Amino acid sequence: MNKKHDAEKNPFQIFQEEFPDLAKSFNDLVDAQRSLKGMDPKTKQLVNIAIQTANHNPMGVKMHAQMAKSQGASRDEVLGAVVMNLHLSGLTNVLDCLPAALEGLKL
């Protein structure tokens, strides 16, 4: 693979290209989770942001911030989903994920 070309892709794109069958199965799981009743799509994305913050995954926060915005989430809702983790996952996770959330909101 062309390393320069790969550097322009996000890791999920690389995963999909390198492991298409596994990526399809993963996407099927995600689709099944999306179809769960009980929460609207915006709330599901806000929960995902909180989970990604707890897992110290800024890239996941960025991706889900963009998706939350597309589902109608406000800036305050997205940033609130990040900072609600402060007492659970610590200041470092929150500080590392806030810039990613802001970046996702710009996309």
Instruction: Output the 3-class SS for 30-66.
Output: HHHHHCCCCCCHHHHHHHHHHHHHHCCCHHHHHHHHH
Residue 26: per-residue pLDDT: 96
Q: What percent of the chain has pLDDT over 70?
A: 93
DSSP class of residue 71? Answer: T
* pLDDT-based confidence at residue 2 (cuts at 50, 70, 90): low
Predicted TM-score of the model (pTM): 0.84
- pLDDT score of 16: 96
- Per-residue confidence at 4, pLDDT binned at 50, 70, 90? low
| Six-digit token string for 38 | 């009980």
Q: What is the pLDDT of the chain when averaged over all its residues?
A: 93
The pLDDT value given to residue 11: 87
Percent of the chain with pLDDT over 90: 83
Q: Which domains does the chain have, with CATH numbers?
A: 1-36 (no CATH), 39-107 (1.20.1290.10)
Higher-confidence residue of 11 and 46: namely 46
Rounded to an integer, what is the distance from CA 92 to the centroid of its chain? 18
